[in-house]
Amino acid sequence: MGSYAKEMAIGAIIVLFIFLLYVGLPPAIMVMGLLLFGAVFMLTRARGGLAMGAAGKKSAARKPEYLTFEDIGGQDQPKRELTEALDFLVHRDKIQKLGIRPLKGILLTGPPGTGKTLLAKAAAQYTHSAFIAASGSEFVEMYVGVGAGRIRDLFKEARQQAVKLKRNSAIIFIDEIDGIGGKRDGGQHREYDQTLNQLLTEMDGVQGDESVRVLLIAATNRKELLDSALLRPGRFDRQIQVDLPDKNGREHILKLHARNKPIAKDVSLGQIAEETFGFSGAQLESVMNEAAIYAMREESESVSAAHLTQAIDKVMMGERMDRETTREERERVAIHELGHAIVAENVRPESVAQVSLTPRGQALGYVRHHPQQDRYLYTLTVLEEQIMIALGGAVAEEIFYGGRSTGSRGDFEQATSIVRTMIESGMSELGIIHPQALTQEQWSAENGKILDALTERTRELLGKHKHSFSLSLDHLIREETLSGQQLREILSGQAA
């Protein structure tokens, strides 16, 4: 229990005792009442603390599960950076010999689901430190001073746990630290400011027992919101980027989550890793879990490649929906998706994995692609091809129906977003120019010019494949799915 709660409890007992004396209650009854109050107080504390100030204590009581860096896949670079920083806790004699100042904090940044919390848990195991975990939201209250008190209690509890466990170091992990570490704007948010100020003070080591070295590890996916005083050297000395895993990392993660599952012998996790470009570690874990659920539904003894394909679609697009559509809607959706797929196969051969009319999430149909390799840099040609693939659905509807439908809304948003990237990267006819120097009219004119030219190229391309459209459409309407290999056979004239 925090010091504020103790002081308030003692004060309440003194006031109650004076009041009872004032009203003339016999001393024996007062003593019995106080004993009863003390018993209830101790019982409440044993069950988790009074409501006042208990949230910080409860968060400090959480223990990490047994986890090592070997149990975390796909983050080789962050693991190397983190273990190097943690060695300052493990090898104190070396850093003292070289005069290295101990690290005060490590900030893990990156998209959600990439393993930042797992890295913090593994760090505690690696250093054999006492470990306390909390969330940034647990320190925010409407009453000024409460959050600051909980910060003090958190660091105090970390040191006490280290002494109790006979450890000379403790690790405090604060998830979503932007909840308390946001930029100070000089406004009236006194509670937020005092909480952050107390955190800065604790990290500086102004208070506390330095015989127990406390390392703060924090995680956020919104680093740009953090206060500059928190990010400076001497507080967060290391800022480690935890990005989405590459192909090798995804395969490693899949293998880790496949250890306790009966995977069919013909399943290639390397192929699954190729098809899950852009997936986070959490999404990959969900893929393996959903595949096992599909296997259980079918009463299968092992997880097959078909189960994994279904799981990828579910994680990417959402659960399969039982929507009743008319014949006309099904044909329009089929034409739309085939437009995407045929353009994709022409500009990026072997890229289509499957065309489906199965409604998932908000989509009535979809095309699943598997990239040839992970990309981090994009040329003008690649971006133009991506825009043509996005426009393929709407252009196909125009060719066969003479007009578009509302199903193209998401495609247009994707296309205009790519056009914006092209302009900001100096790939348009405007050349290298600051985006803020352009007026809204200039943006619209350049955006329309690029999209009109690529729409015409897409129309010419699809116009050459009207026969392939009819063959593919019949199969897709009948079977609801069309594999990438079947589409390629139709386009090359090999279909029976």
Residue that has been written with the tokens 């895993």 in this structure: 245
Output the CA torsion sign for 92, 94, 96, 99: negative
Cα 228 to chain centroid, rounded: 23
Q: Is 321 helix (H, G, I), strand (E, B) or coil?
A: coil
Using the Cα atoms of residue 289, residue 291, residue 294 and residue 298 in order, give the sign of their dihedral: negative
Residue 406 structure tokens: 């509302």
Handedness of CA 364, 370, 376, 381 (dihedral sign): negative
Alpha-carbon distances of 123 from 65, 199, 211, 222, rounded to whole Å:
12, 21, 20, 22
Those residues whose C-beta lies under 8 Å from the C-beta of residue 218, and which sit 6 or more positions away, are: 105, 106, 107, 108, 173, 174, 175, 177, 181, 236
Cβ 56 vs Cβ 150: under 8 Å: yes
Cβ atoms 241, 275 nearer than 8 A: no
List all residues 6 or more positions away from 132 whose beta carbon is below 8 Å from its beta carbon: 59, 60, 62, 154, 157, 158, 161, 170, 171, 172, 173
Partners of 355 in the beta sheet?
Answer: 367, 482
Task: Give catalytic residues, as residue numbers.
Answer: 337
* Residue 132 phi, psi (nearest 5): -135, 135
With tokens 């990290």, the residue in question is 203
Residue 219, strand partner residues: 108, 175
Integer CA distances (angstroms), 101 to 39, 98, 233, 239, in order:
48, 9, 11, 17
